[in-house]
Amino acid sequence: MKDSSIDNLRHSCAHLLAAAVMELYPQALRTIGPAIDKGFYYDFDDLKISEADLPAIEAKMHELSKTWDRFEGREVSPEEAKKIYKDNPYKLDLIEEFAGQKLTIYKSGDYEDLCRGGHIDHPDKQLKHFKLLSIAGAYWRSNEKNKMLTRIYGTAFPTQEELDKYLWQQEEAKKRDHRKIGAQLGLWTFSDYVGGGLPLFTPKGTIVRRLINEYVEELQNKQGINQVWTPQIAKAELFKISGHYEKYRENLFSIRSNYSDEEFFLKPMNCPQHTQIYASQPRSYRDLPIRMADFAMLYRDEKPGELIGLTRTRSFSQDDCHIFCREDQITAEMNMALDMTKTIMETYGFKYKYRLSLHDPDHPEKYLGDPQTWAKAEKLSEAVLKDRGMEYFPGVGEAAFYAPKLDLIATDSLGREWQLSTLQIDFFMPQRFNLTYIDEKGRKQTPVMLHRAISGSPERLMAILIEHFAGAFPTWLSPVHVVILPISDKHLDYAKKVESGLKSQNIRVELNDKNEPLNARIRDTQLQKVPYMLIVGDREVESNTVARRGRSGKDYGPQSLNEFIKDLRHEIDNRLNV
């Protein structure tokens, strides 16, 4: 089905949900029920239910759907609509809002609702494969000053097969929740004293975070990209010039000095400060491109209710790079960035496509600059994708306030999509900061600024990778490569010798000689998702070998320590995804 068709199906199912609720709970007040990504919801007032009540509502929906042969719409005047919904303040609020537009009511079976339309043709045949998922609280019109309503979430698909696949995906996602697995593996923690959305990384979590960054650094070095380091704060004036003060103010953390009236902000991104490194000395066309990478911490003020583990935080970093170049260098520089992205995505095992994130011409107030320059940047961005034969789709309104974006949408092992890397052509910020270079004829020119992040935020990528791999990182990315398990105390000396040999080859190893049965220690190692265990007993001591075992339980049999190290180093050094 096309997107519009699936939206119509889900919107129709929202009507069906409301009809079932009104039959079972006639005192409830209906509000709105739109289709959303992967499903639908309907908000109600005066509805006191729990998730234990959802099966009964769902059963009523199936009963009613058999009597819904079509949706019939009729236009009504504001006066007529107000009479119909005189006892529902939420519908009256909507009628007032849309009084200058066409108002319609749609009826199916004995149920009718104020609605703009967008339904399926044969609800009795098409409304079969749905499921109510959860209940949540939601403020009317998303305004915290308004009353809290009861929101019922559901989903619907054209076929039972698609519904079953989605429900399986949701259950599997719960098992793989990075918040749960991250706690189990001891990778990070949060503290009420530090604050929400401000993760504290443990030694093991810091290893994973560092490895993600080091991989990007390794590839950047091959491309001649130099690292810089910039402060976490900057004066408000910097962000006024960049446009963040005007267009991004609500996400900025404000800081005040005790000794002056100067206003500072924690930086939400690196680009404004990088312009000042560029501006610190005269530049020639021969100097370009100038590439600056920055892994410094960034801070954005997020609403407490929107913070989610590592995927939505207040503090994070980015594998950020800003490239100052001439217009004739744009395509080559973008291709270098896309080549690097391709390498990294293949290493992690992500399938991906691109969203060409464009500005919304109907809302120019959201953006810097003029329409002609936007059209130029968007045309250049699309041309790069087309020339590479990349799969992409447009995203109107998804651009940054200063530039269109090539946003990489990665698909994980559960088929879910995540926005990771981004690449942006920015003509406006260099102009606003009056950045220049001298061309071959001695004239001042304005450089173009390319914004590039490959993994995006390594902290967020860590969360995605945990769910992608169900916590079982590839060996190169695992905080511990090997756990040595001596069967008894008499094997401890040999186990320490093995440990020393592994450490000498830069292999991250732990020795577990706890006073516990071997099976308990094996189980503990598997729960920690360590790639390999080396079990050491009489046979291994006598033959100077190790008994290698995988976290899945696979027994590799005895190996010499040198053979094991050779195999393991090959797996680590080549970043094999096994």
178-185 and 458-468 helices, crossing angle to 10°: 90
CB 340, CB 223: distance < 8 Å: yes
Cα separation of 302 and 224, whole Å? Answer: 35
**pLDDT number for residue 261:** 87
Residues 189 and 234 in one domain: yes
CB 29, CB 45: distance < 8 Å: yes
* Whether the bond into 123 is cis, omega within 30 of 0: no
Task: Exactly one of 126, 318, 445, 528 is catalytic; name it.
Answer: 318
Residues 363 and 401 in one domain: yes
Q: Structure tokens of 266?
A: 């924690």
Structural domain boundaries enclosing 301: 183-468
CA Rg, the chain, in Å?
29
Residue 252 within a domain: yes
- The total domain count for the chain is 3
In 3D space, the residue among 354, 355, 353, 359 whose CA is nearest the CA of residue 396 turns out to be 359
User: 120 in helix, strand or coil?
Assistant: coil
Last residue of a domain, one of 453, 468, 483: 468
203-222 and 330-348 helices, crossing angle to 10°: 140
Q: Structure tokens of 399?
A: 């651009």
Residues 489 and 433 in one domain: no
CB 505, CB 240: distance < 8 Å: no
Tell me the per-residue pLDDT of 204-218, one tens digit each, with 9 for 90 and over. 999 999 999 999 999
Q: Is 320 a catalytic residue?
A: yes
CB 70, CB 122: distance < 8 Å: yes
Residue 156, strand partner residues: 130
414 Cβ partners below 8 Å, 6+ apart? 169, 172, 173, 176, 467, 468
Burial of residue 211 (CB within 10 Å: 0-12, 13-18, 19+) is: middle
446 φ/ψ angles, rounded to the nearest 5 degrees: -100, 125
CB 154, CB 17: distance < 8 Å: yes
458 Cβ partners below 8 Å, 6+ apart? 209, 212, 213, 317, 318, 319
Whether the predicted pLDDT of 73 surpasses 70: yes
**pLDDT number for residue 510:** 97
Residues 36 and 98 in one domain: yes
Residue 510: which CATH number? Answer: 3.40.50.800
**pLDDT number for residue 505:** 96
Residues 151 and 187 in one domain: no
Last residue of a domain, one of 111, 145, 168: 168
Residues 114 and 54 in one domain: yes
User: 559 in helix, strand or coil?
Assistant: strand
Cα separation of 34 and 93, whole Å? Answer: 17
Residues 314 and 418 in one domain: yes
Q: How far is CA 520 from CA 183, 482, 514, 517, 525, in A?
A: 20, 17, 10, 5, 9
Could you tell me if residue 497 is left (phi over 0), alpha (psi between -120 and 50 degrees) or otherwise beta?
alpha
Tell me the per-residue pLDDT of 147-193, one tens digit each, with 9 for 90 and over. 999 999 999 999 999 999 999 999 999 999 999 999 999 999 999 99
Whether the predicted pLDDT of 511 surpasses 80: yes
Residue 148: which CATH number? Answer: 3.30.980.10
Q: Is 451 a catalytic residue?
A: yes
**pLDDT number for residue 99:** 79
Residue 3: band (very low, low, confident or very high) from pLDDT cuts 50, 70, 90: low
Which H or E run includes 449? strand 448-453
Cα separation of 280 and 283, whole Å? Answer: 9
Q: From edge to edge, which strands make up the β-sheet containing 392-396?
A: 226-227, 290-294, 320-325, 448-453, 417-426, 405-411, 351-358, 392-396
Residue 429 within a domain: yes
Residue 552 within a domain: yes
**pLDDT number for residue 305:** 84
Residue 177 within a domain: no
**pLDDT number for residue 15:** 97
**pLDDT number for residue 98:** 87
Task: Exactly one of 13, 271, 321, 325 is catalytic; name it.
Answer: 271
Residue 178 within a domain: no
Q: Is 329 a catalytic residue?
A: no
Last residue of a domain, one of 468, 495, 522: 468
Tokens 């107030």 map to which residue?
Answer: 365
Tell me the per-residue pLDDT of 378-430, one tens digit each, with 9 for 90 and over. 999 999 999 999 999 999 999 988 899 999 999 999 989 999 999 999 999 99
Tell me the average pLDDT across 356-363: 92
Whether the predicted pLDDT of 1 surpasses 50: no
Task: Exactly one of 294, 319, 320, 407 is catalytic; name it.
Answer: 320
Whether the predicted pLDDT of 226 surpasses 50: yes
Whether the predicted pLDDT of 71 surpasses 90: yes
Residues 216 and 333 in one domain: yes
Residues 231 and 146 in one domain: no
Q: Mean pLDDT across the chain, nearest whole number?
A: 94
Task: Exactly one of 151, 267, 274, 405 is catalytic; name it.
Answer: 405
- Count of C-beta atoms within a 10 Å radius of residue 578: 9
Residue 125 within a domain: yes
Q: Is 271 a catalytic residue?
A: yes
Task: Exactly one of 131, 451, 460, 521 is catalytic; name it.
Answer: 451
Q: Kindly provide the residue ranges of all beta strands, DSSP E only, lying in 157-270, ordered along the sequence.
A: 188-189, 200-201, 226-227, 233-235, 254-256, 263-266
Q: Structure tokens of 296?
A: 């410094």
Task: Exactly one of 30, 178, 300, 468 is catalytic; name it.
Answer: 300
Residue 175 within a domain: no
Residue 441: which CATH number? Answer: 3.30.930.10
Residues 101 and 127 in one domain: yes
Q: Is 321 a catalytic residue?
A: no
Whether the predicted pLDDT of 2 surpasses 80: no
Tell me the per-residue pLDDT of 300-325, one tens digit each, with 9 for 90 and over. 999 888 899 999 999 999 999 999 99
In 3D space, the residue among 216, 449, 530, 543 whose CA is nearest the CA of residue 347 turns out to be 216
Residue 578 within a domain: no
Which H or E run includes 152? strand 148-156
Residues 481 and 433 in one domain: no
Whether the predicted pLDDT of 198 surpasses 60: yes
Share of the chain above pLDDT 70, in %: 99
The DSSP-derived string for 385-399 is HHHHT--EEEEET-S
Task: Exactly one of 274, 322, 452, 521 is catalytic; name it.
Answer: 322
Q: Is the dihedral of CA 282, 284, 285, 290 positive or negative?
A: negative
228 φ/ψ angles, rounded to the nearest 5 degrees: -125, 170
Residues 164 and 218 in one domain: no
CB 12, CB 124: distance < 8 Å: no
